[in-house]
Amino acid sequence: MPRQHETSGSRSTGTASPYDVARWCAGNGWPVHPLAPGRKTPAANCPACRNEPHGPQDCPCHPAGRWCHGFHAATTKSALLDAWWGSHPTLGVAVSCGPADLVVLDIDAHSAEVPDRNRLLPGIPIHESVNLAGLASGFDTLALLAALRKQQNPADDDSTLRVRTPSGGLHVWYQTPPEGPRYRSSVGSSPKTALAWQVDVRSTGGYIVTPTTRTLAGTYTPVGTARTPAVLPDWLATELQRTGHRVNQQPTRLPSPHPDTLRPARKRAHRLLEPLINQVQDCAAAPEGTAFTEKLNRAAYTAGGLIASGHLTDTQARDLLTAAADAARPHRSRHSLAVINSALTAGASRPLHLKGRP
């Protein structure tokens, strides 16, 4: 069930101060962190954190009560809310979705080229008989998914908190049970983990801007009368599991090949790539400061050389690399895809011809 909020925090009409909103969220049990004034991005780290990169788990700023490292600093402690927004009343407010047990559908309405119909709803083939004329945004793909499942469109779900964004998009907030499964964040353009084109998922590893937050582009405005999230509908939970959003507690390792099923060169290729893939997956243990991009680039470059020499197929390589990247950085799918594409192309120019005994 959605958590109840205190009366003092119910002023979601656009007149509440950021401090009021932060207290309302904390009263719901949702950890909050500051946003830069007038922006939807986290407030800047302190100079020490900017100049000496390190993981948030090792940061001395958090015990000292500072907000470095974005959503990793999120808190419900009244003393920190008083210190942060009391001293800096123009800071915006965001909620760290994972610790708050939230799943928020971020529906985009950006102008973008519509992809092939097979990429609109990952894992769901859309028959040629389905007329897609006029489809232009995440509102359309989410409505299509709901129609195919014969369910209510979440964008029209007036039982839950919905927030209009300054760009014309919509945030649809849902709550998950504390003892229930956790879900990873994703972007709607991801080729691996995505619910629908132009529909992002904000959950573990992500944050969401709160209602009434003001930015230079406009204000995040509640829609309808609901001011708390409803429970995540069962059919959406099923879809999130189907599309790979359910968080696995243990990363999936590159499977060990049976010795009788691979030729010697394939075995050596496997031995060469496996530790590089594992290094990418191991970055999941620390969201920052692990040289994730460099490790992903190295793995993809090596995979490109193995593809060029015939030891690995392009599909196998992309599946392994995107799975590892999504496990480590579920909220950076666009970045990961760009790194993979570039490194595979570069690696393909230098085929890896493996020699020696298996």
Q: Could you state, in order of their start, the residue ranges of all structural domains in the chain?
A: 7-242, 264-348
Query: In degrees to the nearest 10, what's the CA dihedral of 350, 354, 355, 358?
Result: 170
Tell me what pLDDT residue 23 has: 95
Residue environment code for 138-174, b if the CB has 16+ CB neighbours within 10 A, otherwise e: bbbbbbbbbeeeeeeebbebeebbbbbbbeebbbbbb
CA distances from 180 to 94, 101, 244, 247 (A): 23, 9, 16, 11
Residue type, 177: P
CB 276 within 8 A of CB 321: no
Q: How far is CA 187 from CA 73, 103, 192, 198, 261, in A?
A: 23, 13, 10, 7, 37
What pLDDT does residue 355 have? 61
Q: In this predicted structure, what is the pLDDT of residue 193?
A: 84
The pLDDT value recorded for residue 348 is 82
For residues 196-231, b (16+ Cβ closer than 10 Å) or e, as one string? bbbbbbbbbbbbbbbbbbebeeeebbbeeebbbbbe
What's at 93, amino acid-wise?
V
- Give the Å distances, CA to CA, from 316 to 54, 110, 224, 293: 33, 32, 46, 20
Question: How many CA atoms does the CB half-sphere of 186 hold within 13 Å?
Answer: 27
Q: Which amino acid is at 294?
A: E
pLDDT at 166: 95
* 90 strand-pairing partners: none
Amino acid letter at 169? G
Q: What is the DSSP string of 100-140?
A: TTEEEEEE---------GGGTSTT----TTS--TT--SHHH
Q: What is the pTM of this model?
A: 0.68
Q: Are 59 and 69 spatial neighbours (Cβ–Cβ below 8 Å)?
A: yes
Give the pLDDT of the chain (358 residues) as one tens digit per residue. 223 333 333 333 446 899 999 999 999 999 999 999 999 999 998 888 888 777 777 788 888 888 988 998 999 999 999 999 999 999 999 999 999 999 999 999 887 888 888 889 998 988 888 888 889 999 999 999 999 999 999 999 999 999 999 999 999 999 998 888 999 999 888 877 899 999 999 999 899 999 999 999 999 999 999 999 999 999 999 999 999 898 863 433 444 434 333 345 556 677 788 889 888 888 876 666 678 888 998 999 999 888 888 887 887 788 788 888 887 787 677 788 888 988 888 888 888 876 643 3
Residues with Cβ < 8 Å from 173, sequence gap 6 or more? 102, 104, 160, 161, 162, 163, 208, 229
